[in-house]
Chains A and B, each alone.
Chain A
Amino acid sequence: DTGVSQDPRHKITKRGQNVTFRCDPISEHNRLYWYRQTLGQGPEFLTYFQNEAQLEKSRLLSDRFSAERPKGSFSTLEIQRTEQGDSAMYLCASSLYYNEQFFGPGTRLTVL
């Protein structure tokens, strides 16, 4: 068990650019979650997958955000036309059904 991994760990981009983050969950976990965390706050739910199906999306997930989990394994989160307000830590977590969620180290996004 190597834990949840995320790539990259840090991303600096200019406003208006597109960025993509990757998450590799724990191998036997069927659920994968994306959260966003701003400085000094608790994480906020963005979306979650059960296997390859995206089952729930938060209202925080605007049209510029899209997430995929094509084969029920790794997931990608893409942000198009980034804005300064997108600067945050993006956390990925995985679980086996409704058991406890294990978090990755996060991707810190800075939009200049």
Chain B
Amino acid sequence: AQTVTQSQPEMSVQEAETVTLSCTYDTSESDYYLFWYKQPPSRQMILVIRQEAYKQQNATENRFSVNFQKAAKSFSLKISDSQLGDAAMYFCAYPPRLSETSGSRLTFGEGTQLTVNP
């Protein structure tokens, strides 16, 4: 069964500093997407960044970037210049199968609660 593991239940960072959240996954697929979602307290889940497995280049979205290590099945999220608004639960997610005709339900990790200290 495909699994997603986030080994850091909680992380904290000082405002303006950099923090890295870890994620590992297990799959037998060769082509897939990986996602990081952010869920602020009592607010809805939003997509932070996605990585396509066939791309060697790591995805970047403003202050958010990933370190994708396909062979190691590792997908970490780096947040640079952390802001108070970055405080949230972060989930790594992976769709077990990906094609135009099959489902793309997401399997989520357990989450990492990020605290940003002023």
Contact = CB atoms under 8 A, between A and B. Distances in A.
Size category, A interface: 20 to 34
Contacts of A33: 105-106
Contact of A106 (B44, B50, B110): B44
B107 interface: yes
Interface residues of B, number: 25
A44 B93 CA distance: 11
A20 B50 CA distance: 33
Nearest to B4: A42
B106 A43 contact: yes
A65 interface: no
Interface stretch (A11-19, A21-29, A74-82, A94-102): A94-102
Given A41-B110, A48-B103, A56-B105, A104 B91 contact: no
A101 B105 CA distance: 9
Nearest to B95: A98
22 contacts: A42-B91, A42-B93, A42-B108, A42-B109, A43-B45, A43-B108, A44-B108, A45-B106, A48-B105, A56-B103, A91-B45, A95-B104, A97-B100, A98-B98, A98-B99, A98-B104, A100-B35, A100-B47, A101-B106, A103-B46, A104-B44, A105-B43
For the complex of A and B, list the 5 residue pairs with the smallest distance between their C-beta atoms, beginning with the closest.
A42-B108, A45-B105, A103-B45, A98-B104, A105-B44
